[in-house]
Amino acid sequence: MDAKTLLFLALFHLILLLSPSIINASSTQKIRARKPCKSLVFYFHDIIYNGKNSHNATAVIVGAPAWGNKTILASQNHFGDLVVFDDPITLDNNLHSTPVGRAQGFYIYDKKDIFTAWLGFSFVFNSTEHKGSLNFAGADPLMNKTREISVIGGTGDFFMARGIATLMTDSFEGEKNIRAAAAAARRKPCKTLVFYFHDIIYNGKNSHNATSAIVGAPAWGNRINLAGQSHFGDVVVFDDPITLNNNLHSTPVGRAQGFYLYDKKEIFTAWLGFSFVFNSTKHKGSINFAGADPLMNKTRDISVIGGTGDFFMARGIATLMTDAFEGEVYFRLRVDIKLYECWY
């Protein structure tokens, strides 16, 4: 199994459906019968860092159980290993073909007695044919011939896309076949919101006011200082105050809680999974977000994948902008939220 994880190809078969807001339990067969408006095929290639291949590794172990380390996948079916990846996506199964984008995110091995994983990642496209991203999450029982995970959102050409991705692998390769329905970009939002959140990362000296901490790092890093190579592999958990303006000392209206991980060696990019948890008189409940964050862009879109309370089952797009930063200790994000599905 270790040989497989050193280099593998993956294939997905995706059925994407947009905003079926009147779906009920009896409509599942109808959804499966709908014809896709577009079909696509992609491959992505994962090369895990083993201590000797830093020049071409596209994935790195950033968290391991007590019996493991960060250059060899752990025993007991790799249980507890957390891997961050930035894998090339190609149109065929040739690793050296021109990439059309990157598969960026993480997987964790989550069972001791059999190979299974949990995935959270995005396809970030950079080709002339496709712009934007597709976001995925779900359990991957690796020993099954085919496994389904969820498409939880998209941006750009895949605005608000969602559906099912069927993943297939064998010893060394697999394929993805994406069938997508991703229109509705002209829809007007049913609600717009703007918030700021403030992140102060723990640096060994600021435990009194730090709101985030490095909890996973590659073999060349530590949990006090962000790693080299554009912080690739660092995993940060945060509990940041949310304010209505850009003043850190304003009264918080809630907390931004979740994680981000740096997932590229050559340039600063991250993958985010977090919630806004509100505690103000104006808003109750939560909004959940996921997606790729290419940090060097002035503005970046991620998916709103759900909500609770006042934001029950909300979906949409959140546009992020880095409003301020101070070295590697503090940053402030402006979050411009546009909801396209509102149930209240």
Query: Using one digit for the tens of pLDDT, what is the confidence trace for 122-181?
Result: 999 988 888 999 999 999 998 888 888 898 999 999 998 888 787 777 444 333 333 333
Where does residue 115 rank: exposed (0-12), middle (13-18), buried (19+ CB within 10 A)?
middle
Which stretches of the chain score pLDDT less than 70?
1-8, 11-40, 170-187, 344
DSSP designation for 27: G
Total length of the chain: 344
What's the rounded Cα separation, in Å, for the pair 170 and 163? 24
Torsion of CA 220, 208, 276, 14, to 10 degrees: 10
CATH number corresponding to 2-179: 2.40.480
Q: What is the pTM of this model?
A: 0.82
Q: b/e map of 285-298 (b: 16 or more CB within 10 Å)?
A: bbbbbbbbbbbeee
| Long-range contacts of 324-330, Cβ-Cβ distance < 8 Å, separation of 24 or more | 324/246, 328/201, 328/203, 328/225, 328/226, 329/200, 329/201, 329/203, 329/206, 330/198, 330/199, 330/200, 330/201
Rounded to a whole number of angstroms, the CA Rg of the chain reads: 20
Q: How many C-beta neighbours within 10 Å does residue 143 have?
A: 10
pLDDT of residue 162: 80
Listed residue (241, 253, 272) closest to 310, CA to CA: 253
Q: How many CB atoms lie within 10 A of CB 171?
A: 9
Q: Which two tokens stand for residue 162?
A: 């969602």
State the pLDDT at residue 96.
Answer: 87
pLDDT of residue 38: 58
Does residue 111 contact residue 143 with C-beta atoms inside 8 Å? no
Domain with CATH 2.40.480.10 in the chain: 191-341
The CATH code that applies to domain 191-341 is 2.40.480.10
The angle subtended at Cα 82 by Cα 6 and Cα 301, nearest 5°, is 100
Strand partners, 273: 259, 290
Q: What is the pLDDT of residue 170?
A: 45
